[in-house]
Structure formats: structure tokens, C-alpha cells
Amino acid sequence: EVQLVQSGAEVKKPGESLKISCQGSGYTFSNYWIAWVRHMPGKGLEWMGSINPGGSDTKYSPSFQGQVTFSVDKSISTAYLQWSNLKASDTAIYYCAKSGTSAYSGCSFWGQGTLVTVSS
Amino acid sequence: DIVMTQSPDSLAVSLGERATINCKSSQSVLYNSNNKNYLAWYQQKPGQPPKLLIYWASTRESGVPDRFSGSGSGTDFTLTISSLQAEDVAVYYCHQYYNIPFTFGPGTKVDIK
């Protein structure tokens, strides 16, 4: 059974850094791209980008390029989403999703989401 | 960026009746080399992550009830729920994965009338 387990909710202050995680199981983690999607309160879904766990190749949406960093640790089947300078506007639920063997794939299975709240 | 629009914003349908959601992309998402439309549909229930229903515009994901169907090509797509059930109350999103950055439609909320 495919599972993507994300780390728990976070409350941070503006300017702080944060790294959230997404651990995959039930499939060959390194063979499938992992996408990150933002869901802001009362808004729609936004594709932030994706990472290839096998080779660490990344695709960033221009809207998020330079604002966040994707990384993986293949040894523990875990992908990470990182910020170095959080803003209040980063408050959202962040989902990781198992994509395909190609970067140009939909999101076949989603993690449960991590709520990030940034407030002074 | 490819802009995805959906209509209607919301709809209320009686149990057992048909629900139809439209999605339009600002440019074609049909890749001529493989004749595939890079278009997916997701269902999101309150408090849950999205769930994949349809990919390649018309291929139903394993385990998805056959009352859900997708159609269309190029720039115009439709998600149809042939006989609405109570458990289908959700927000439905279309999603293009043809061009980076991938983009989602704004969502259509489906309720019971």
C-alpha cells in the first residue's frame, strides 16, 4: 500500500527557517517524482514544483523558485521542503504527492498535508 | 503559464442525477507525439488531501467508481458524475501537467440539492 506520511503542523515566526518532510513507503521511492503543492486558506491548489528522488533533478515553478528548496534523502525514502526566511504569506497547507516516472506526470497519491502557520 | 478555468464555480445536484464540470485550458495540453492530453481531475473532500480520479483526460484511476468519467481534448475537458452519491460532495479540480509550471483550475464545489 502506497503511503506518504508528512511531518506535523508547524507554527513559526516571520524570518524563521523551516524544513518539512514527506516519507514514502509501499513503492520504489527513487523511481517516482515527488511534487509539492500549496493550498492557501480559502484558495485553490498551486504546484510548487517537483523533485526526482533518484537523481535529485528538480523542477521549480517560477513563483516559488528561490523561495523554497526541495531535497531528498533516498536512504530513508524522504523528501523535504525547506524555507530559509518564512513570511506570513507562507501560511498554508503543504502537500507532497507521488507523481510519475516522468517529470510530466499528474499526482497519483497525496500525503495528508502539513499545516504551516507563520505569525508574529 | 497555462491558465485553467472551470465552470461552474459550484453546483447542486439531486442524488442520482448527473453532475457535469467543465475545464478549459488557455492553450492545448494535447501532446501530438503520443496523442495524450496532459490533464487530470482530482476530488478533495473537507479536511482531506486531493485524490486522483482521472488522468490523461479520460483514464479512470484504479478503484475510482465508474460513475466518474472524463472527456475532451486540446483545450476543453469535462468531468461527469453520472449518478451523484452523497459521498461525492467535494471540490473538484482539473490540472494540466503539459507545461511547467503545472497549474490547477480554481475548483468546482459539488453539493447535494
Q: Inspect the interface and report whether the beta carbons of A62 and B55 lie closer than 8 Å.
A: no
Q: Which of B95, B97, B106 sits opposite A104 (nearest CB)?
A: B97
Using a CB cutoff of 8 Å and minimum separation of 24, what contacts does B59-62 make?
B61/A108
User: Where does B15-58 show beta strands of DSSP type E?
Assistant: 19-25, 30-31, 36-37, 39-44, 51-55
Query: What value does the mean pLDDT take over residues B86-113?
Result: 98
**Residue bearing the bigger pLDDT, B39 or A56:** B39
The three grid cell numbers given for residue A114, joined into one nine-digit string: 502539513
pLDDT digits (tens, 9 = 90+) for A92-110: 999 999 999 999 999 999 9
Q: Which three cell numbers stand for residue A33?
A: 517524482
Q: Is the pLDDT of residue B73 over 90?
A: yes
CA distance B46 to B44: 7
Establish, for the pair of chains A and B, how many residue pairs have beta carbons separated by less than 8 Å: 56
User: A45–B104: do the CB atoms touch at under 8 Å?
Assistant: yes
| Overall average pLDDT of the A43-68 stretch | 95
Would the CB atoms of A47 and B38 count as touching at under 8 Å?
Answer: no
pLDDT at A55 over 90: no
- Our CA-based measurement puts residue B72 at a distance from the nearest CA of chain A, in whole angstroms, of 17
Burial of B13-45, coded b for 16+ CB within 10 Å and e otherwise, reads beeeeebebbbbbeebbbeeeeebbbbbbbbbe
Percent of chain B topping pLDDT 90: 100
Interface test with A, best of B52, B102, B104 (most A CBs within 10 A): B102
B97, B100, B103 member nearest A106 (Cβ): B97
Q: What is the mean pLDDT of chain B?
A: 97
From chain A, the residues in CB contact with B93 under 8 A are 44-45
- What per-residue confidence (pLDDT) applies to A56? 78
**Judging by DSSP bridges, how do beta strands B4-7 and B19-25 pair with one another?**
antiparallel
CB contact under 8 A, B104 and A113: no
Instruction: Determine the average pLDDT of the residues in B79-91.
Output: 98
Q: Which residues of B touch A113 (CB under 8 A)?
A: 49
C-alpha cell at A85: 526566511
Expressed in angstroms, the distance from the first to the final Cα of chain A is 40
Residue with the three cell numbers 475548483: B107
Average pLDDT value over all residues in chain A: 96
**DSSP letter string, A20-40:** EEEEEESS-GGGS-EEEEEE-
Looking at the predicted structure, is the pLDDT value of residue A116 above 90?
yes
